[in-house]
Amino acid sequence: MKLENKQWYYVKRPEAQIGAENYELRKDVIDTSELKENEILIRSKYVSVDPYMRIHQSIHNTWEKPQELNTLQGSGVVGEVIESRSDKFIPGDFVNAYTGWQEYAVINADQARKLYPKIPVSTALSILGMPARVAYFGLLEEGELKSTDTVVVSGAAGAVGSIVVQLAKLKGCRVVGTAGTQEKIDYLQNELGIDVALNYKEHDSLEKMTKALAEACPEGIDVYYDNVGGNVTDAVFNLINHKARILICGQISQYNHGLDTPEMGPRFLHKMLYTRAKIQGILSRDYNHRMDEMLAEMEPLVQSGKLKYKETIMDGFENLPAALSGLFDGSNKGKMLVKIY
């Protein structure tokens, strides 16, 4: 059987915000009779869009080289096995794999993780996927989280941030978060039980944000989990406690304009000296080999409803570039995904 396979190729480097003009829809043909021993054919059901895609479109090396033009956009996917020449999978199984923005993919069975869905399979890309790994290991391990800590989380209503907020609350910490709309502030307060949620757009100077955070954190800040950078991060440095732990998970406020020509912010490193604080970059892929460990802890919490999750799911393969762009407009609550069928 021959299948037409739609694919999104990255074709033009963005100068500012990523959008549809940076991608091109192409078509390929997969001949299912050519499947080799140990290979499976999967059909993408949910495809992920993530801020790191924009990071890799910077002109500079990051944790890897810049994405080359005329390449398929890579991404995590939840797919259904359509055909299998592996004894590990049968048609109808759902898997998590890194097959990118395409409708179908042929992969070696070793590249796929089988899902045993007790909860919706989309969670393999959200609360039980890549964002969860960096939230879980970043906060609990690198952050050396203690129940007495006051934790500040920027981007608190997003895929990573909403997990960090809840893990810190489960530990017993005081948790303060920032987000960009009243709807997200309400979600953090009413559904996730955060202590204080601040709309960073209403505190749009260093002075205003420092004042708001100082009121929300009367005993100072012990752990800062940063998804955003910019003004919020600058303000946090005014308030860090002795031996504070600052975790740099992301800097989304800088991706569209600041990766190639960084903004100059306040020079805060003297505060690190006074407080003997530590600052640490954290990357989800560094914990790939510990996925089972994370799932053993997180899956029961999700199943029992102790950990809540939201997914913003856009419909249709053609909407992948728009969904990616939407991350930079704040149009998602929780994990942004695209449903293909």
Ligand X SMILES: NC(=O)c1ccc[n+]([C@@H]2O[C@H](COP(=O)([O-])OP(=O)(O)OC[C@H]3O[C@@H](n4cnc5c(N)ncnc54)[C@H](OP(=O)(O)O)[C@@H]3O)[C@@H](O)[C@H]2O)c1
Least distance from ligand X to the Cβ atom of residue 336, Å:
6
Cα distances from 258 to residues 16, 83, 243, 261, 329, in angstroms, run 9, 44, 29, 5, 16
Contact 94, 44 (CB under 8 A): no
Strands in 236-339 per DSSP E: 240-248, 278-281, 311-315, 335-339
Least distance from ligand X to the Cβ atom of residue 159, Å:
3
Contact 280, 248 (CB under 8 A): yes
Least distance from ligand X to the Cβ atom of residue 19, Å:
14
Q: Binders of ligand X among 307-336, rule CB under 6 A?
A: 327-328, 330, 332, 335
Kind of pairing between the strands at 174-179 and 196-199: parallel
Distance CA 90, CA 116 (A): 13
| Residue among 175 and 327 whose Cβ is closer to ligand X | 327
Interface pattern 76-115 for ligand X (x via CB under 6 A): ----------------------------------------
| Residue among 51 and 100 whose Cβ is closer to ligand X | 51
| Residue among 209 and 277 whose Cβ is closer to ligand X | 209
Distance CA 246, CA 265 (A): 17
**CB half-sphere exposure, 73, CA atoms < 13 A:** 35
Distance CA 234, CA 257 (A): 18
Residues 75, 150, 238, 284: which binds ligand X (CB under 6 A)? 284
Residues 72, 283, 295, 313: which binds ligand X (CB under 6 A)? 283
| Residue among 19 and 220 whose Cβ is closer to ligand X | 19
Q: Binders of ligand X among 117-136, rule CB under 6 A?
A: 131, 134
| Residue among 104 and 136 whose Cβ is closer to ligand X | 136
Residues 41, 42, 50, 164: which binds ligand X (CB under 6 A)? 50
Q: Binders of ligand X among 8-27, rule CB under 6 A?
A: none
Measured over the CA atoms of residue 321, residue 327, residue 331 and residue 337, the dihedral's sign is positive
Instruction: Establish if 247 lies at the interface with ligand X (CB under 6 A).
Output: no
Residue type for position 122:
S
What is the binding site for ligand X (CB under 6 A)?
A: 50-52, 131, 134, 155, 157-161, 179-181, 184, 227-228, 249-253, 282-284, 327-328, 330, 332, 335
